């Protein structure tokens, strides 16, 4: 059983105010059971990555790492926290806006890194020219399927500024793979919530169909 509670100072204050404090109790046994169910539902060799933004506390991430999970991070702060708990090769870096320094600090580690746009791809290419990158580099692709049931959390609209639109830029993405041999991965993100199974699988199929067009250079579908 892992406990996450307020600091001693906060507890002392709560004894006086008895408001604005809370504690979270996490059953690590149940977490491990759910992770095991997830792992057995997919083929061996699949990396399941917990989204750090869901709960970036070190105690939680330690339990997930010990359960055999990887970690997906959407900011460099999350990346730094994940590195305290997970091996580099179990971390997926998906920030939608990476600075040149953040890229420099990550591409020479054996993590997984998805570029969000062509500008980031050019920056990775510059770094690769300085010294060959170590990270497995992918491209985040917007399948442009439309909105889910929660419009504000949908990222697959034709106008979504999250990834490169597949319908808009199919030829350009394929050309990027031809130009940059270090590209080995494609990433699809259809939406955070309100995305039914039918829409989610449609997004995966659209990206895997594209990966087959690109050919054997695509080693990983994220």
Cα angle, residue 147 at apex, residues 156 and 171 outer, rounded to 5°: 30
Q: What is the pLDDT of residues 129-177, one digit of tens each?
A: 999 999 999 999 988 877 777 777 777 666 667 789 999 999 999 999 9
**How confident is residue 6, by pLDDT bands cut at 50, 70 and 90?**
very low
Phi and psi for 213 in degrees, rounded to 5? -65, -45
Regarding predicted confidence, which is higher, 50 or 157?
50
Structure tokens at 35: 């992770």
* pLDDT for 19: 61
- DSSP letters for 108-154: TSSSEEEE-SHHHHHHHHHHHHHS---SEEEEEEE------SSGGGB
Structure tokens at 208: 């895997």
**How confident is residue 76, by pLDDT bands cut at 50, 70 and 90?**
very high
- DSSP letters for 6-74: --HHHHHHHHHH--S---EEE-HHHHHHHHHHHHHTS-TTPPPEEEGGG---HHHHHHHHHTT-EEEES
CA–CA dist 141, 156 (Å, integer) = 9
154-157: Cβ within 8 A, 24+ apart: 154/190, 154/191, 154/194, 154/195, 155/189, 155/190, 155/191, 155/192, 156/189, 156/190, 156/191, 156/199, 156/203
Regarding predicted confidence, which is higher, 180 or 54?
180
Q: What is the pLDDT of residues 9-20, one digit of tens each?
A: 444 454 555 566
The proportion of the chain whose per-residue pLDDT surpasses 90, expressed as a percent, equals 66
Q: What is the pLDDT of residues 54-66, one digit of tens each?
A: 888 999 999 999 9
The pTM for the full model equals 0.84
Name which of 1-10, 102-111, 171-180, 190-199 the model is least confident about.
1-10
Residue 206 has pLDDT above 60, yes or no: yes
8 Å CB contact between 116 and 96: yes
Residue 31 has pLDDT above 60, yes or no: yes
């Amino acid at each position: 059983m892992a406990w996450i509670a307020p600091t001693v100072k906060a507890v002392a204050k709560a004894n006086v105010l008895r408001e604005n404090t809370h504690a979270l109790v996490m059953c690590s046994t149940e977490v491990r059971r759910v992770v095991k169910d997830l792992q057995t539902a997919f083929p061996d060799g699949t990396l399941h990555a917990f989204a750090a933004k869901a709960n970036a506390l070190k105690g939680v991430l330690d339990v997930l790492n010990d359960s055999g999970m990887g970690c997906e991070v959407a900011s460099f702060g999350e990346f730094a926290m994940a590195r305290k708990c997970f091996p580099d090769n179990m971390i997926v870096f998906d920030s939608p806006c990476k600075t040149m320094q953040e890229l420099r600090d990550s591409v020479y580690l054996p993590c997984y890194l998805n570029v969000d746009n062509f500008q980031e791809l050019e920056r990775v290419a510059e770094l690769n020219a300085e010294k060959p990158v170590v990270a497995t580099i992918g491209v985040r692709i917007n399948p442009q399927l439309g909105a889910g049931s929660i419009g504000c959390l949908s990222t697959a609209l034709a106008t979504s500024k999250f990834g490169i639109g597949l319908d808009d830029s199919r030829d350009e993405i394929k050309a990027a793979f031809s130009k940059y041999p270090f590209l080995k991965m494609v990433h699809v993100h259809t939406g955070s919530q309100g995305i039914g199974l039918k829409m989610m699988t449609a997004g995966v199929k659209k990206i895997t169909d594209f990966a087959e067009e690109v050919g054997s250079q695509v080693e990983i579908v994220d």
